[in-house]
Structure formats: C-alpha cells, structure tokens
Amino acid sequence: MKILVVGSGGREHAICWALAKSKRVTKIYCAPGNAGIAQIAQNVDIAVSHFDELIAFAKNVAIDLTICPMDDPLVAGIVDAFMSAGLLIFGPTKAAAEIEGSKVYSKDFMRRYNIPTAEYGAFDTFNAAMAYCATAKFPLVVKVDGLAAGKGVIICQNIESAEHALKDIFESKKFGVSGEQVIVEEYLDGAECSVLAFCDGKTIIPMPGAKDHKAAYDHDMGPNTGGMGVVVPNPYYKEDIAKECMERIFLPTVEGLRKDGREFVGVLFFGLMLTESGPKVLEYNCRPGDPETQALLPLLETDLVDVIMACLDRNLDNMEIVWKNNAICCVMLASGGYPGDYETGMPIWGMNDVGKDALIFHSGTKKDGDKFVTAGGRVLCVLVSAENLETARASAYDSVRKVSFQDMHFRKDIGDLGAIIPN
Ligand code: AMP
Ligand code: GLY
C-alpha cells in the first residue's frame, strides 16, 4: 500500500516509523514532513490546510490510504473532503471531530450522556461568565470553546485572574472566534492520564494509559507546553480504574457519538483526571496525542495498518491488538525559551551517539547541508523502552546526555514517580 501521512511533528514521525515496519506498506509519503521523517518517508511540500492539493497529490500517485492525526485539519473537515473525492482516509469526520473542536459541544455531550466531568457553565458574554465566577469556588478553570493551540485553558486562583482571563477572551479577543464562547469549570485535583483508543464507530479498544508531562519545567512548574515527555504505562492508571473508565467513560462516549449521528472512526483521546471520586474527563481530543503517540507506537506489536484497516472496515471487534509488556520513557528536547519565543537553526550534535536501545523521533528539525538543525520549539524526542520504568528512564537519560544543541532545554524528571505525585 502507498500511504500518505498528514503533518510534520514527532507524532507523524512515529506513525511513519510504525508504517515502515508494516509488511503491507510499499511507500510512505508525508505532507509536509520534517527532516527526521525524510529518513524513512518521502516528504511532500503541501500544507496540511490545502485539502485540494493533498487530494490532487493522493490521486496523482494513487495513494491507498491517508492518515491525518492533526486536530486543525480534522476539525476543518479533511476527512469529509477526502471521502467526497472517493479516497480512503483514517480519522473522524468534521461532525465527529467537534468533540475536540468545541468544548461547549463536548461538555454538553458529557452532561447529556452522564459521563463524569468537572461541573461547568457555558457562556457567550463577559458578564454572564463573570456572574458565574462570582458564586463559584476557586481555583476554577476558564476554557475557550474552540481550538487554541493548547493555550485556551486558564487556571484561575481568584476572581481577579478570572476577570483578567475573561477580558482577554471577550474584550481583547485574544483567541479570535475560538473565544466566542467559554466554559468555566470546576478545578479537579488528581493524577492526569492520557488514554488513546482506536475506534471504528461502535467498538473501542483503548491503548495502554500514558502519562504526559505538560509543564515546561521540573516538578510541574512553569507554563504549559505541548508535552515535555511521556511515560507508559501511567503508574496511576491501574486495572480497576481502566475498567471503570471503560464502563463509565469510553463506551458511553462512543455510543453517545453514534446516537448523536457523529460516529467516530479514528483515534479518540481521553484526557482524564483520576480524582478521589473516580476518573473524570478533562477533555477529548479527536486524534492521537503528541508526544503520547511517540511513546505508544514503539510498544505496538500488531501491524498498525491492520488496526487502521479494521477501524475503517468497522471490524475492530474481530481485532486483537497486542502490546509489548514494557515500560517506555520519552524525553522531549526543546529549544531554549519554548513555549515562549525561541531561536531556530541551531546545529544538533550527538544523535548518532545515543544508546542502541534508544529511538529518536524528530518534532522540529530541518537539514542545513548534511547537518540536522533545530526548526521548532519541540525539537527531538529520545525514547527507550525496557522491562520497567526505572530502567527505561535511566537509559533514556543516558542517551539524552549524548545529544546537544545551543540552549537545549529538557525536563529531568520525566517518569520520576516522586515528581508526578497527583497535583
Ligand atoms: P486541555 O488543553 O483541555 O488538555 O487542558 C490543559 C491542561 O489544563 C490539562 O492537561 C490539565 O492539566 C489542566 N486542566 C484542564 N481542565 C482542568 C480542570 N478542570 N481541573 C484541573 N486542571 C485542568
Ligand atoms: N499531549 C497532549 C496533546 O496531544 O494534546
């Protein structure tokens, strides 16, 4: 099969890497890709938002299957566009992707189907949101309705910070149309867990639980990022909790989406808070997470193409998905200054010196002559899988120490159980 992957980050690199292992795949294209991806796939210089060009390319080279793991194109309807053109694509339709594209829809969805989540109100004016905050308990969380590149969630300790956040949204219109409505919700305490699940519209098969580390600095300090590292399995996501999630969250979600006429085919991502009163949904994403996907795919033993085709054939209930019984630790190497401003173009040293057990996925790199240089905030992920987390972690950091670029920044406590105690 010829496969086209849409995107350019570490998640897409990990997907191309898993596809390269498949017996069914003869050629991989990635649009637009990055310098790491170019080692195993052919990059195609088309932007992810240019659906017509992507479709024309897919027809021209007779692509058999397109995979889109990115939120923006999914929410904008890339799957509908490909399907209308008669092309096979893996991902949810625009209607199903609204589970991530609109927080108001997703919160109302959870309320209607009795899926555990934080208490909330939905508002479309500053005054109405402020009136709710005036009687609410702090801390509370303000979330813009639409996509906001991970910046649309503001944790407010007091009424002044809530007022500030709501002014940014409704008066300064900092988030544009994404901020036309807001959710104001209860702050949840607990351990966070990312669960990604394959879905064929009716059957859902969750992957092992992952622990993302979103804050920029050690001990969960500093601003939120796209993710500074992941470990799998998530040590807090025990078997009994996974069972409860299946019954109270995963199955009702897939069933609810079907009842809403928004059958979900793709990878559905549950951002969970494991609270004292049980697991609750913080958010849904309509696609596999990054860096979670980078940590999960090296553990997948079943051919990824077989799993995707089972989803597309609505045949997931006949599929057995096998995972290595290993732990994995994945450490993100970021540019100095990320998630704020940072410089790019720094030469990267030492990638060939990492341990034989280490994998490197590229998030933001390009080639300058024959050298790799930095080209993004998140630059590289170094991953090691081993029979337990402690070994995986020690070995991952041994390899991290071999790699360098100017102003390189990474967290030193990824997978350190002491540092990921519930908030
Ligand atoms: P999101 O972009 O919705 O994943 O939110 C970003 C991060 O904000 C989450 O990973 C949580 O750490 C935090 N967060 C979101 N909602 C809540 C909540 N209701 N209570 C506590 N933390 C939250
Ligand atoms: N790592 C979180 C996300 O992909 O949204």
DSSP-based three-state secondary structure for 204: strand
State whether residue 127 is helix, strand or coil.
Answer: helix
The answer to whether 205 touches 311, Cβ cutoff 8 Å, is: no
- For residue 394, give Cα distances in angstroms to 36, 329, 401, 414: 24, 9, 11, 10
- In three-state secondary structure terms, 321 is coil
Which ligand 2 atom is at minimum distance from the Cα of 227?
1
pLDDT at position 317, please?
97
Instruction: Quote the Cα angle for 38-39-41, to 5°.
Output: 55
The residue whose CA is least distant from atom 14 of ligand 1 is 282
Cβ pair 51, 28 in contact under 8 A: no
Determine the pLDDT at residue 421. 42
Residue in 63, 93, 56 with CA at minimum distance from that of residue 78: 93
Q: How buried is residue 340: exposed, middle or buried, by Cβ count under 10 Å (0-12/13-18/19+)?
A: exposed
Per-residue pLDDT of the chain (423 residues; tens, 9 = 90+): 999 999 999 999 999 999 999 999 999 999 999 999 999 999 999 999 999 999 999 999 999 999 999 999 999 999 999 999 999 999 999 999 999 999 999 999 999 999 999 999 999 999 999 999 999 999 999 999 999 887 889 999 999 999 999 999 999 999 999 989 999 999 999 999 999 999 999 999 999 999 999 999 999 899 889 899 999 999 999 999 999 999 999 999 999 999 999 999 999 999 999 999 999 999 999 999 999 999 999 999 999 999 999 999 999 999 999 999 999 999 999 999 999 999 999 999 999 999 999 999 999 999 999 999 999 999 999 999 999 999 999 999 999 999 999 999 999 999 987 654 443
**106 vs 284: CA distance, rounded Å:** 7
> In this structure, what token pair is assigned to residue 2?
């010829």
What does the pLDDT read at residue 224? Answer: 87
pLDDT given for residue 148 in this prediction: 86
Helix (H) / strand (E) containing 58? helix 51-60
Nearest-atom index, ligand 1, CA of 187: 20
Element (H or E) spanning 82, and its range?
helix 78-84
pLDDT at site 149:
82
CB–CB of 311/198 below 8 Å? yes
Task: Tell me which of 106, 119, 153 to substitute to probe ligand 1's pocket, judged by most ligand atoms within 8 Å of the beta carbon.
Answer: 153
Q: Which two tokens stand for residue 77?
A: 């309807």
> Which DSSP string corresponds to 242-289?
HHHHIIIIIHHHHHHHHHTT---EEEEEEEEEEETTEEEEEEEESS--
Please say whether the beta carbons of 130 and 166 come within 8 A.
yes
How far apart are the CA of 238 and the centre of ligand 1, in A? 21
Which residue in 83, 73, 180 sits closest to 123, CA to CA?
180
Concatenating the DSSP letter of every residue in 136-185 gives: S-SSEEEEESS--TT--EEEESSHHHHHHHHHHHHTS-TTGGGGSSEEEE
Place of tokens 């008669």: 86
Closest atom of ligand 2 to 288 CA is: 4
Under DSSP, the state recorded for 209 is P
| Nearest by Cα to 285 from 273, 299, 270, 296 | 270
> Which of 269, 361, 411 for mutating ligand 2's site (highest number of atoms within 8 Å of CB)?
269
CA of 141 to the centre of ligand 1 (A): 8
* pTM for this predicted structure: 0.96
3-class DSSP state for residue 337? coil
